[in-house]
């Protein structure tokens, strides 16, 4: 998908150059959640203000949920901001989150395959399942909560 270009005006309004309409932070959040990237430029200075707007979105999300990052981490970010943590954020945090999401997808796929294998085995060998009857209520819990494809946790 093509990057969405937004312009930020002095009145703090954000303008979607594709739709030729003003948008809210919630609109931008929805666009990003659909997989698009955005670039926000200051309409007057042409300065790239994308990071500031994305940070504002994260802060709004945290305000709504009343929690995003633990207070000790926020203290470290403020205390060591540009010295130590910026290097960490630039080099490692993005890749760590990407790796975590890949791991979640792999784990969900493995879990789904395990459930399918168990179901197939049960169909082929009903006597084996009869031997598991003491565990039936527990196994039913797993079968009822099998992960959906593409769902992120």
Q: Which of 46, 71, 96 is the last residue of a domain?
A: 71
For residues 13 and 22, the answer to whether their CB atoms sit within 8 Å is yes
- Residue 16's region, left for phi above 0, alpha for psi from -120 to 50, else beta, is beta
Q: What pLDDT does residue 7 have? A: 97
Q: Is the pLDDT of residue 48 over 60?
A: yes
The pLDDT assigned to 140 comes to 63
Mean pLDDT, rounded, for 86-96? 79
Q: Where is the domain boundary, 71, 95, 111?
A: 71
* Residue 61 sits in the same domain as residue 91: no
Number of domains into which the chain is organized: 2
Please give the residue range of the domain that contains residue 45: 1-71
- Domain match, 26 and 88 both: no
Same domain, 59 and 84: no
Give yes or no: residues 87 and 148 share one domain: yes
Residue after which a domain boundary falls, among 37, 71, 105: 71
Answer yes or no: is pLDDT of 101 > 60.
Answer: yes
116 shares a domain with 61 = no
Count other Cβ atoms within 10 Å, centred on residue 38.
19
Residues 3 and 55 in one domain: yes
Nearest CA-CA partner of 86 in 75, 94, 77, 98: 77
Provide the CB-side half-sphere exposure for 43 (13 A, CA): 12
Contact 40, 49 (CB under 8 A): yes
Does the structure show a pLDDT above 60 at 147?
no
pLDDT above 90: residue 83: no
């Amino acid at each position: 998908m093509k990057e969405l270009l937004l312009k930020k005006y002095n009145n703090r309004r954000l303008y979607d150059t594709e739709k030729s309409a003003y948008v809210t932070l919630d609109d931008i959040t929805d666009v990003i959640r659909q997989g698009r990237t955005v670039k926000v430029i200051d309409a007057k200075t042409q300065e790239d203000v994308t990071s500031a707007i994305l940070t504002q979105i994260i802060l709004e999300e945290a305000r709504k949920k009343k929690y995003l990052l633990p207070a000790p981490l926020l203290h470290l970010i403020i205390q060591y901001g540009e010295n130590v943590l910026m290097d960490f954020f630039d080099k490692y945090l993005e890749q760590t989150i990407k790796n975590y999401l890949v791991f979640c997808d792999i784990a969900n796929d493995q879990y789904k395959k395990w459930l399918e294998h168990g179901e197939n085995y049960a169909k082929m060998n009903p006597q084996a399942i009869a031997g598991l009857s003491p565990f039936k209520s527990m196994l039913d819990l797993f079968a009822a909560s099998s992960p959906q494809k593409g769902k992120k946790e």
